[in-house]
Structure 1
Amino acid sequence: MTAILTAGGAVCGLARDQLLARLFGADGDTDAFLVAWTIPEVASTLLIEDAMALVLVPAFSLALAGGQAEVRRLAAATFPRLLLALAVGAAALAAAADPLVRALAPGLADPALAVDCTRLTAVTVLTFGVAGYLSALLRAHRSFMPPAAIYIAYNAGIIALALALGETWGIRAAAAGVAAGGLLMVLLQLPFALRKLRAEPDWRGPWRPWLRIPLPQTRTPADDAPRPPGGAGPGDGAIAPPRCRVNGGCGEGSEGSVGAEHAERGGDATAADGVGGRARLPAAAAGRPPVPGVASTSAGERGERGESGERGVRSGRGQEGAAPPRASVAVTGLAVVAPVACFALLRQSQVLVERFLGSSLSPGVISYLNFAQKVAQIPMVLSMMICTVTLPIVARALAEGDTERARQRVERDLTLAAAVVLAGAAYVVACAPHIIEVLFQRGEFGADATAATAGVMRVYALGLLGHTLVGTLVRPFFSGACAAHRPTWFPMAAMGGGLALTAVAGLVAVRLAGWGAPGIAAANAAGISLTAYLLLRGLRARVVPVGLRAVLPRLACLVLAAGLATASGWYAAGLPGPGSPVAACVLGAVAVPAVFAAVLAAVAARQRLLPERPQTGSEIPTHDDDHVEDDRVEDRVEDHIDDDADDDIADDIEDDDIDDVGRARA
C-alpha cells in the first residue's frame, strides 16, 4: 500500500505538471513561478525527506526502545520550539522575497511576478516543517501509509487552485496552490500522529491539555501496602494526576508532581507502572539504548532530580530542601543536527545552480529543466521507497551496535534501489521524446518545447543512479551519528565536492561550450555521481563495513543490463514511426524490462556455473579491511580467553568436590 500511495503521489505530480504546461506553457511566466517554487523544493528536501527524517526517525526509533512515554517526552520538548522557529523562518522569507529572487535568478525576465509567487510559497517553510515532523513520528512507529500519501494531498491543492483561479490570477494561482497543498499535508497526517501519541492513556505530561487524555484517579492494593523506611513501596506508582500549575503544565518546574512525592519520601524515583505497580528499570539498566539528546540518569539521580521515570515528569523541588538543576530535553544537540541540515541544503543547491545558470539563457530554459527533471526522477522516487521503509531497521541496528545486520541491510538496499532506478532510467532514455509528447504536448506546450525537454531529460537520466546511491548511502551515515551522539561531517564534505563540480562544469558548459540546458543537466549528473562515489568509499571506513567487492560487481551488472535494455527500447520505440507516441511508449515499456531481466538472469546463471576460485595474492584483503579483520581476531582471542577461564573454574569446582568427598569419608 505504501508503494501504491507513493506511486500515486508521483502520478499526481505528473498531472500537476501537465496542467501547468497546458495552462501556462514554458515561457517567462513559468520560469518566474519555478524560481518561487525553489522555496518549497528546498523545504521539502530539508524538512520532509532528508534532514528532518534523517534526524527524527532515528531519534523517535530510539525513544520507542524506552517506551511510548519517551516518545511523548521527546515530542513535548521539541515540537513547540520547532513550530516557533518555522513560523519565524516563513515570515522572514516572505519579507525578503525581492532580494532573494534577484539573488537566485538575476537574469529573470519578470522578477516582480517571481516576488509575488515567492511570498505565497514562503508559507511552506511552516507547513512542510510540521508535515515532516509528523512523518518522522509515524515512520518511526512503522506507519508508512500517511507519510506516503502527503504528496497526493499536496498536488491536489495545487491542481484545484490552478483550475479555479488560473483564469484570473494566472501563474499566481499555482503559487497559492502550493501554499494550500502544504496545509493539506499537515491535516492529512495529524489524526494518525495524535492516535500514536494517545496510545497509552495513563501518560501524564505537558501535552495533556492539547490531547485531552483522561487521567482517572485510581489506587491499587499494592499502593496501600506498607513501605519500608527510606524506600518506595511495592506498588509505588503514579496513583493520581499530577497537580500541575495552570500555565506551566506538568513539565519542568511544576510542583506536586509524582517525582517530587518520591523525592520527598526519600525513595527511589525509578518509574513504576501506575496500573499494576510493576517497577520499571531505567533504559540503561534494561538494556535499551538511550534517547539521543535526552539526559539518561540512574535511579539515584532521578530521585535527586525528582524525575518520574519513564513519564519524564520532573518536579521543581527534587530532594527536600534542595533546588534541582533545570534539565533541558532536546531531540539531539545542534552538533548532530547541523551536518544533516548542511548536507540537505548543499544537495538542494544543485537546483539553485541550475536555475541561476538557466536564468541567463533564453526564456523557457528553466521550465525545460524543471519538466525534464520531474519526469526523469520518477524512477528514483520509486527506488527510494526501499530506503524509506528500511531506515528504522538500519537505525535500530546501529543503535544496538549490530553493524553486521546494518551492513547486510545496506547492501541489499543498494542493490534493490539500483535495480529499480536503472530499469526506469533505461526506459526514460529510450522513449524520452514520446514520453514528453504524451504527457505535455498540448495547449501552450508545443512541439519545440517537447523536443527541448526530451533532450534535457535524456541527459538527466545519466545521473539517476548517482542520486539514488546518495539517498541510500547517506541514511546509515546520519543514523549512526544519531545513535553515537556525535556529528558526522563527511556527507556534507562529499556533497560539497559534488556541488563544486556541478557549478564549475555548468559554467563551462553554458559560458564556454554553449551547450545550454543539456550542458546544465550533464553537470548535475557529473556532480551527483562524484558525491555517490565518495559516500560509498566513506561509509565503509566510518560507519558500516560495506563489502565493495560484493556491491560494485552487482552495480556493474545492473549498468550493463540497463545499457542493453536502453538500446532495445530505443529500437522498439522507433518501430511505429512518427505520430504514434502512445504505441512507442508501450513497445518501449515491453522491451526495456524484458531485456533488463533477461540480461540479469543470464549473468546470474553464468555466476552459478563458474567454480569457486581459491583466494589469490591479489585478493588478499588490503588495509581497508584491516579493521574488519582486527575485530574478528579480537573476537577469537576473547572467545579463547573465555574458554580458558571456564576451564579454570571447572577445574576449581572439581577439586573442591574431591576435597569434600575425602573429608566425608574421613
Structure 2
Amino acid sequence: MSKKPFNANRQIARAAGTVMLAFAFGQIVGLLRRVLVAQAFGAGVELDAFIAANRVSETLFNLVAGGALGSAFIPTFTGFLAREDKKSAWKLASAVANWVTLVLSLLAALGAVFAPQIVRHALAPGFSGNPAQFALTVTLLRIQLASAILFGLSGLMMGILNSHQVFLIPALTPSMYQLGMIFGVLVLTPKMGIYGLAWGVVIGALFHLVLQIPSLLKKRGKYSLTLGIGNAAVAEVIRLMGPRLLGVAVVQLNFWVNTWLASRMAPGSVAGIEYGFALMLMAQIAIAQSIATAAMPTFAAQYALGKLDDVRSSLSASIRGVILLSVPATVGLITLRVPLITLLYQRGEFDARSTEIVAWALLWYAIGLVGHSVMEILARAFYALHDTKTPVLVGIGAMSLNVVFSIAFAALFERIGWMPHGGLALANSLATALEMILLMILMRKRLNGLHISSIARGFGQAALAALGMGIALFWWNQANSTSAPWLVALGGIAIGGVIYLLGIWVLKVPEIQQVASIIRRRFS
C-alpha cells in the first residue's frame, strides 16, 4: 500500500474517531430522550400518534435537504475547494440554501393544509377508527412541520462544514435536537401533554441549526441572494440530486408503508417498530455513519484528483472497520435485547407488554445491522464518485422488495401466531442485506477491484470472534435469568466486549494490532 492512501486512511480514521465520539454522545442523549418519552407515554395510542405525525416532517427533510442533498452537494462543493475556487463554492452554497428554504416552506405549507387527508389516506388509516387519535395526529403533524425548514438549512450547513473537514460541531447537532425534545418532555409536557413533545421537536430543530452558525461564520463565506439559475454547478447538484431524491422517496415510502400497516395492528405496534429500529440505528449511527461521514469528503477529494487507487484502498479499509464493529454489535443486540430494553425503558407507562413489543421488533431489526452499516459506506462512496444513479436504482429495487416482504412477512407472522410487526422488521433486514450485496458487486466493477479477499477475511474473523461472544452471552443470560436487568445487561456488555476483543486479538486482526501499537506509542 502506498504512503498516500495510508495517510488518507489515517485521516479518515482520525476524523471517524472524532465523529464517533460525538455521535456516541448524541446517541446517549437520544437514549435519555426515549427513556423519558417512554416513561411519560409508554407504547400506546398517544405515542403512536406522535411517531406517525413526525413521519411527515422527517420525510420532507430527507427528501430535500437530508441525505439526498448531502450526497449531491458535498462532491460538487468539495471539488471547488480542492481546486481552490472558493468564490464558485460559496455561490453554489448560497443558491442551494435559497432553494432549500423556498421548497421546504412551500411543502410545509401544503402539508399543513392537507394534513387530514395525509393522515387518513396515506399515513395511518388505522387511526380513522379512533376519532380522538386521528385528530391528535393531524394537530401534531401541523406543529412539527416547522422543523423541516430548520432541519433543511441545518443539513446544508453540515455539508459545508464536512467539506471543510470540520466534523465535530456537525456531529454534535443530533444531540442538540435531542436536548430540544428533552426540554419538551420535561418542561412542556407536564402542562401541554403530547403537544409539548411536538413543540420540543421544533425547538430541537432550532438548536440543531444554531449550533453550527459560529463554525460556518469562521469560514468567511460570502452569501448571495440568488437561485443560481444558469449556474452549471447548481445544475450539477440538481442532476446528482435527482436520482438520489427518487431513492430517498422510495426509502421514506417504505417507512410510510410500515406505519400504515402497523396502524392496523395491535396498539403499540407503531411505537414498537419505531423504538426497535431506533435501538438498531443507535449502533448503526455510532459505527457506520461516523465512519461514512468522515470518509465521504476524502473519497470525493481523491476522486476529484483522479486517484482511483486511493479510493479503492480507503473504501476497503472503511468497510473492514465497519464490519469489525457491526458484527459483535449484532450479536449483543440479539442476545441482550430483553434486559437492555427492560433496563432502559420499563418504568412509568412503559410496562412489560411494551418491553415485549419492542424486543420482538429489535430481534428482527438487529440481524440487518451489518447490511445497514456496510451499505452506508458503499452508498457514500458512489456519491463521492458523482454517481447517485447506481445506488438509487439498487435502492429502489430493494425498497420495493421491502414493501412486498413487509406485507408477506406480517401476514406470515400473524398466521403462525407471532406478533406481526416483527415481520416488518425482518422485511427491512432482508431487503437491506440484498441491497448491500448488489452494491458491493457493482462497486467492485466500478473500481476494477475492491480488496474483496481482505474484506471477506475481516468478516470471517469478526464472525468467529462474535460466535464465542454469543455463546458466552447465552450462558450469561441463562445463569442470571432471575437477576436484576441492570446486572444482566451491563454485565453482558462487559463480558461480550472482553471476549470479542480477545477473539480478534488471538486471530491477529490487523486493525486491533494497529490500535494496540498506537496506544503503546502514546504511553511510551
- State which of 394, 397, 400 in structure 1 corresponds to 2:299: 394
Kindly indicate whether residue 409 of structure 2 is the aligned counterpart of residue 509 of structure 1.
yes
Equivalent-residue separation in structure 2 for 1:454 and 1:444 (angstroms): 16
Change (3 A) 1:513 1:572: closer
* Partner in structure 2 of residue 183 of structure 1: 206
Structure 1: distance between partners of 2:340 and 2:115: 35
SS in 1 for 2:479: coil
Give 1:95's match in structure 2, choosing from 113, 117, 121. 113
Say yes or no: does 1:332 pair with 2:236. Answer: yes
CA-CA distance at 1:197 after TM superposition: 2.4
SS of the residue corresponding to residue 332 of structure 1 reads helix
| 1:553 and 2:457 are equivalent in the alignment | yes
- For the pair 1:498 / 2:398, whether they are aligned, the reply is yes
For the Cα contact (< 8 Å) 1:47–1:53, is it kept in 2?
no
- Whole-angstrom CA distance in 2 between matches of 1:48 and 1:588: 39
1:449 aligns to what? 354
Match of 1:37 among 54, 78, 92: 54
Q: Is the 8 A contact 1:346 1:492 kept in 2?
A: no
Deviates further, 162-171 or 23-32: 162-171
Per-residue deviation, 1:32: 0.7
- Conserved 8 A contact 2:41-2:349: yes
1:160·1:177 contact (CA, 8 Å) conserved in 2?
A: yes
Q: What's 1:582 paired with?
A: 486
Give the alignment partner of residue 77 of structure 2, picking from 60, 64, 68.
60
Pairing 1:22–2:39 present: yes
SS of structure 2 residue aligned to 1:197: coil
Of residues 524-533 and 345-354 in structure 1, the stretch that sits farther from structure 2 once superposed is: 345-354
Aligned-partner Cα distance in 2 for 1:8–1:46? 26
C-alpha distance after superposition, 1:254-284 (max 9, x if no partner): xxxxxxxxxxxxxxxxxxxxxxxxxxxxxxx
Counterpart Cα distance in 2 of 1:105 and 1:155: 25
Q: CA deviation at 1:47?
A: 5.2
- Compare 176-185 and 496-505 and name the one that shifted more: 496-505
1:431 aligns with 2:336: yes
Q: Are 1:130 and 2:153 matched, yes or no? A: yes
Question: Which whole-Å deviations, capped at 9, do the CAs of 1:457-499 have from their partners, x for residues lacking one?
Answer: 1221000111111111011111112xxxxx5422122112221
Query: In the TM superposition, what is the alpha-carbon distance from 1:327 to its structure 2 partner?
Result: 5.7
Aligned length: 482
Provide, for residues 331-366 of structure 1, a one-character-per-residue CA deviation record: whole Å limited to 9, x for no partner: 625321111212222233332222121111011111
Quote the RMSD (CA, aligned, Å).
2.3
In the TM superposition, 1:222-621 aligns within 5 A as 330=234, 332-383=236-287, 384-481=289-386, 488-514=388-414, 515=418, 516-543=420-447, 545-604=449-508
What whole-Å deviation, never above 9, does each CA across 1:589-621 have from its counterpart, x for those lacking one?
Answer: 122122222332333389xxxxxxxxxxxxxxx
CA positional deviation for 1:553 = 3.1
Which AA in structure 2 matches 1:152?
S
Amino acid at match of 2:104: L
The CA distance in 2 between the partners of 1:327 and 1:159, in whole Å, is 42
Assess if the C-alpha contact under 8 Å between 1:89 and 1:125 holds in 2: no
Shift in Å, 1:446 = 0.5
Distance in 1, Cα, partners of 2:150 & 2:447:
33
Find the aligned partners of 1:40 and 1:421 in 2 and give their Cα distance: 30
**Partner of residue 71, structure 1:** 89
Name the aligned partner's letter for residue 502 of structure 2.
A
Between the aligned partners of 1:144 and 1:469, the Cα distance in structure 2 is: 21
Structure-2 residue corresponding to 1:662: none
**How do 1:644-655 residues align onto structure 2 when only pairs under 5 Å count?**
none
1:85 equivalent to 2:100? Answer: no
In structure 2, relative to structure 1, the CA distance for the partners of 1:511 and 1:331 (3 Å cut) is same
Q: Are 2:29 and 1:6 aligned?
A: no
SS at match of 1:448: helix
Range with bigger deviation, 371-380 or 135-144: 371-380
8 Å CA contact 1:561–1:599 kept in 2: the answer is yes
**Conserved 8 A contact 1:440-1:450:** yes
- Over 3 Å counting, the alpha-carbon distance change for 1:115 and 1:61 in structure 2 is same
Distance 1:561 1:151 in 2: 32
Give, in whole Å, the separation in 2 of the partners of 1:598 and 1:351: 39
**Structure exhibiting the larger radius of gyration computed from Cα positions:** 1
Shifted more, 429-438 versus 549-558: the winner is: 549-558
Q: Distance in 2 between the 1:402 and 1:327 partners?
A: 27
Deviations 1:162-210 (A, max 9, x none): 2222133221211111111111111111121122125xxxxxx664xxx
Q: Secondary structure at 2:126's aligned position in 1?
A: coil
Q: What's the offset of the Cα at 1:588?
A: 0.8
Unaligned runs of 5+ in 2: 1-17, 511-524
Match of 2:369, as an amino acid?
Answer: L
Q: CA deviation at 1:17?
A: 0.8
Q: Is the 8 A contact 1:72 1:197 kept in 2?
A: no
Higher relative contact order (CA 8 A, sep 6+): 2
Read off the aligned partner of 1:407 and give its amino acid letter. R
- Greater per-residue helix proportion: 2
For residues 339 and 117 of structure 1, do their structure 2 counterparts lie closer, same or farther at Cα, with a shift above 3 Å needed? same
Match 2:123 to one of 93, 104, 122: 104
Residues 420-457 of structure 1: CA deviation (Å, up to 9, x unaligned): 22222221112111111111010000011112211221
The 1-side partners of 2:149 and 2:231 are apart by: 28
Task: Mark the CA change 1:160 to 1:2 in structure 2 (over 3 Å): closer, same or farther.
Answer: same
Change (3 A) 1:206 1:390: closer
Structure 2 residue identity aligned to 1:592? G
Q: For the residues of structure 1 that align with 2:257 and 2:469, how far apart are their CA atoms?
A: 32
Paired residue type of 2:69? M
Q: Whole-Å Cα distance in 1 between the matches of residues 231 and 257 of structure 2? A: 43
1:214 corresponding residue in structure 2: none
Given candidates 166, 182, 193, the residue that maps to 1:170 is 193
Query: Do the aligned residues in 1 keep the contact of 2:19 with 2:291 (CA within 8 Å)?
Result: no
Structure 2 counterpart SS, 1:37: helix
8 Å CA contact 1:476, 1:543 repeated in 2: no
Tell me by how many angstroms 1:408 deviates.
0.5
Greater CA drift, 501-510 or 132-141? 501-510
Q: Which runs of 4+ in 1 moved over 6 A?
A: none
Output the CA distance in 1 between the equivalents of 2:45 and 2:447: 46
Using the TM superposition, give the Cα deviation of residue 46 of structure 1 relative to its aligned residue in structure 2, in angstroms.
4.1
Deviation at 1:44, TM superposition (A): 5.1
How many angstroms apart in 2 are the aligned matches of 1:105 and 1:500? 20
Q: Describe the shift of the 1:328–1:548 C-alpha distance in structure 2 as closer, same or farther (beyond 3 A).
A: closer
Local SS of the residue matching 1:593: helix
Distance 1:143 1:385 in 2: 13
Give the letter for the 2:164 counterpart.
H
Tell me the percent identity: 25
Cα distance, 1:57 vs. partner? Answer: 1.7
Alignment TM-score, normalising by the size of structure 1 = 0.69
For the residue of structure 2 that corresponds to 1:444, the secondary structure is: coil
CA contact (8 A) 1:382 1:420 kept: no
Change (3 A) 1:60 1:501: same
Shift of 1:562: 2.5
The Cα of 1:412 is off from its aligned counterpart by: 0.7
- Please state whether the residue corresponding to 1:149 is helix, strand or coil: helix
Q: Which amino acid aligns with 1:101?
A: V
Alpha-carbon shift at residue 147 of structure 1 (Å): 0.5
SS in 2 for 1:578: coil
Report the CA distance shift for 1:34/1:340 in structure 2 as closer, same or farther (over 3 A). same
